[in-house]
Chains A and B, each alone.
Chain A
Amino acid sequence: MNATNLTIGKNVVVTDFDGGEGILVDLNTKRYYQLNETAMLVWRGLEQGKSVNEIVNDVTASYEVEPEHATTSVQRLLDSFQTYKLVSAK
């Protein structure tokens, strides 16, 4: 699956904090989600319409992590975003 197949919900607001972390606010549910630095990197990749591979590359460029492990982590995060309806398939 390409990340570019996912659309960020119009009801979601992101704000960064402390250099890398961030908070997602779902304005419909009034729920807040804290994102660590890696999750923010993935979210920013989504915002920029990057593919999964490009996001994985961003992660491996920023952290000492094997591509396979990064791919699994990125995919798991994207699934979570979908589960919580923060993003949806185009």
Chain B
Amino acid sequence: MALTDLRGWMPADAVVVNGRPGLTWMDMSGVRLAEPFFQQTVDKLKATDPNRLELFTEFDTLVQLEKQFDSVPPSGFIFHSSRCGSTLLANACRALDGAVVLSEPPAVDKLIARFITDVDENRTKETLYSIFLRAVVSALGQKRFGDERHLFLKFACCSVSQIERIRRIWPNVPWVFLYRDPVETIVSNIQNLPAWLQDEDHRVLASITGTSPDEVAAMTPEELCARAIGSFFATACGAHRIANDRALLLNYSQLTLTEIANVLEFFGVKPAAAERETIARQIQKYSKAASGERAFIADAEAKQLAASDLVHEMAKRWANSSYQLLEQYRGGNQSS
């Protein structure tokens, strides 16, 4: 298959096949990324069209392809600390005319994880993964319909740990960091344990929490979650201090139509009246359901009531101080 035949294909995952690291590509011609998560679109495609072609290539193919793609450059990045409204914000971006929203595409976040698991003192690997990451985003941001004008990328929560490396690749792209009260975040994660907290390769979480893989394996979910989100908060604080006018902090408690519209304007896109109406309808729905039919129920109070003593203790020990610091910076954001 010639390289030009891969136009319209997207990197569905970063994998290792027979010891060779590379990408699984999927023919996504004619497919809009309409679901709240990239993986939901891939899963839906596999279920409805099992004969759709897939292909493995090593990374060198990606480097060649980057020069050939006609892609939309990123308009805005969404970082978050998990369970804090980032999917709602990504869905709001999707309501904009001409928007492509990449919501936690596995190829992106797995490449970012390799900054942690496969980069040592040798800067060549860091540069290589940065180039692959740039090229993967370019491949995912291809103009496949011709009407694409904005590209938004929502990273998985753990990727905020590598925000400085990401900013080095795209220094001018504005970004927002969403977060939520630590007790509510921990309760939400414990009630429905996400994949990132169950990762059996503990190296990423060890790096994030400043511990060893063995220590991560021995932690309760409450402690692991509290230490991870505390680290996310602290990293976002540090990055925000440097990024200044390129960065915005947003608390879950602020997620109103007006605030969401402000974020979109911060990303350089002023939503039209019809787009605001669509976003207003989205706010009423549970953001992560692919069907878009489940109603959203405000649950901050319920989460606080459901918090165990252990959750409170872990939040206090590992996350509260960096959360308070973020809140101070956010206050500065609003007053400036």
Q: Is the interface of A mostly helix, strand, loop or mixed?
A: strand
Q: How many whole Å from A26's CB to the nearest CB in chain B?
A: 8
Residues in chain A near residue B124, CB distance under 8 A: 23, 32, 34
Q: Which residues of B contact A (CB under 8 A)?
A: 58, 60, 63-64, 66-67, 123-124, 127-128, 130-131, 134-135, 168-169
Q: A30 near B: Cβ within 8 Å?
A: yes
Which of B60, B64, B123, B131 interacts with A30 by CB under 8 Å?
A: B60
By Cβ-Cβ distance, the 8 closest A-B pairs, closest first, are A34-B124, A25-B60, A25-B63, A15-B63, A17-B131, A13-B64, A13-B63, A27-B60
Measured CB to CB, the nearest residue on chain A to B134 is: A17
Give the CA-CA distance A27 to B57 in the complex, in Å: 12
Residues 28-39 of A, flagged 1 when their CB comes within 8 A of B and 0 if not, give 001010100000
Residues in chain A near residue B63, CB distance under 8 A: 13, 15, 23, 25
Assess whether A34 is in contact with B60, with CB atoms less than 8 Å apart. Answer: no
Give the CA-CA distance A17 to B165 in the complex, in Å: 12
Give the CA-CA distance A18 to B169 in the complex, in Å: 7
Residues in chain B near residue A30, CB distance under 8 A: 58, 60
Residues in chain A near residue B60, CB distance under 8 A: 13, 25, 27, 30
Interface residues in A25-67 (C-beta closer than 8 Å to B): 25, 27, 30, 32, 34
Assess whether A15 is in contact with B58, with CB atoms less than 8 Å apart. Answer: no
Assess whether A15 is in contact with B66, with CB atoms less than 8 Å apart. Answer: yes
Give the CA-CA distance A15 to B130 in the complex, in Å: 11
Give the CA-CA distance A25 to B135 in the complex, in Å: 14
Interface size on A, residues (CB 8 A): 11
Q: How many whole Å from B129's CB to the nearest CB in chain A?
A: 11
A-B contact pairs, 9 of them (CB 8 A): A13-B64, A15-B63, A17-B127, A18-B127, A21-B127, A23-B131, A25-B63, A27-B64, A34-B124
Residues 3-20 of A, flagged 1 when their CB comes within 8 A of B and 0 if not, give 000000000010101100
Measured CB to CB, the nearest residue on chain A to B58 is: A30
Residues in chain A near residue B128, CB distance under 8 A: 23, 32, 34
Q: How many whole Å from B65's CB to the nearest CB in chain A?
A: 10
Give the CA-CA distance A13 to B123 in the complex, in Å: 19
Measured CB to CB, the nearest residue on chain B to A24 is: B63
Measured CB to CB, the nearest residue on chain B to A21 is: B127
Measured CB to CB, the nearest residue on chain A to B130 is: A17
Give the CA-CA distance A18 to B129 in the complex, in Å: 13
Centre residue among B63, B134, B169 by max chain A CB count within 10 A: B63
Measured CB to CB, the nearest residue on chain B to A28 is: B60
Residues in chain B near residue A25, CB distance under 8 A: 60, 63-64
Measured CB to CB, the nearest residue on chain B to A33 is: B124
